[in-house]
């Protein structure tokens, strides 16, 4: 999956001379929290609702209401925007965008192609994608197996047991545990009756530690 599959195409933009109050109004009217700043077709920055809030004078200021309103009315986006924002391309992978966001502590990326802004992707887009690939919106059972070795055969055996029960695997995540020198596997299966599968896991020597059933109606997990 690449950024082009997640991004908002042709995002709303402002230029650097836009008044901050106007940028705030645009965000509120469109239910968005950030705006790329584009001058003459070139990306020059990005402004967020957080930037606007941080630029607003503190309630403890000694300025009068008139003076506060005057300052805000004159302030322009170029005074508070983040210049030269980190960008990605439409072909940047989901994993790479997630890694960059975590390392740089940023929540959005303007998407550039051939020097032009073609989209924007945010942390909300990335979270929605994680929910999709993990099958978190589908009813099913979450099974956790701990204490696996690094052998490929363990994973093959787990999948084989699920296939024997003709059950669909919604997602399968392997997590290394360096402190214990083993692995943990978290399965999501499209079944509300996992008992026979769990029994076969245990017969095969796997350490099943958690079995939870996800109900779409309530959006909650329940112990099986």
> What tens digit of pLDDT does each residue of 56-99 get?
665 545 555 566 667 777 899 999 999 999 999 999 998 899 89
111 or 71, greater pLDDT: 111
* Claim: this prediction has a pTM higher than 0.95: no
Domains and CATH numbers, the chain: 3-131 (3.10.580.10), 138-223 (3.30.70.260)
Q: Which residues pair with 185 in a beta bridge?
A: 145, 174
Map 54-97 to HEC letters. HHCCCCCCCCCHHHHHHHHHHCEHHHCCEECCCCECCCCEHHHH
Q: Which residues pair with 113 in a beta bridge?
A: 116
Coil vs helix vs strand at 213: strand
Query: CA–CA separation, 172 vs 187, rounded Å?
Result: 5
Q: Give residue 128's pLDDT.
A: 84
Q: Give residue 143's pLDDT.
A: 95
Residue 13 dihedral angles phi and psi, to the nearest 5° = -130, 165
- 27-67 per-position pLDDT tens digit: 999 999 999 999 999 999 999 999 988 876 655 455 555 66
Asked if the model's pLDDT at residue 178 lies above 50, the reply is: yes
Query: CA–CA separation, 99 vs 84, rounded Å?
Result: 19
CA-closest candidate to residue 31, choices 103, 169, 124: 124
Residue 116 dihedral angles phi and psi, to the nearest 5° = -120, 145
Average pLDDT score, the chain: 88
Q: Give residue 94's pLDDT.
A: 86
């Amino acid at each position: 999956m690449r950024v082009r599959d997640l991004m908002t195409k042709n995002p709303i933009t402002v230029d650097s001379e836009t008044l901050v109050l106007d940028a705030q109004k645009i965000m509120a009217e469109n239910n968005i929290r950030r705006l790329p700043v584009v001058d003459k077709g070139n990306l020059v920055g990005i402004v967020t609702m957080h930037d606007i809030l941080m630029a607003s004078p503190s309630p403890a200021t000694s300025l009068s209401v008139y003076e506060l309103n005057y300052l805000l009315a004159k302030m322009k986006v170029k005074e508070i925007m983040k210049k030269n924002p980190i960008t990605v391309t439409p072909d940047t992978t989901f994993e790479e965008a997630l890694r960059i966001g975590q390392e740089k502590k940023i929540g959005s990326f303007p998407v550039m192609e051939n020097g032009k802004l073609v989209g924007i992707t945010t942390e909300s887009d990335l979270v929605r994608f994680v929910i999709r690939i993990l099958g978190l919106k589908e009813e099913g059972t979450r099974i956790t197996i701990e204490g696996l070795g690094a052998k490929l055969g363990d994973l093959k055996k787990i999948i084989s047991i699920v296939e024997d029960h003709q059950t669909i695997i919604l997602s399968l995540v392997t997590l290394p545990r360096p402190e214990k020198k083993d692995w943990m596997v978290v399965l999501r299966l499209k079944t509300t009756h996992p008992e026979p599968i769990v029994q076969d896991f245990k017969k095969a020597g796997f350490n099943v530690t958690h079995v939870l059933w996800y109900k779409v109606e309530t959006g909650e997990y329940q112990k099986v």
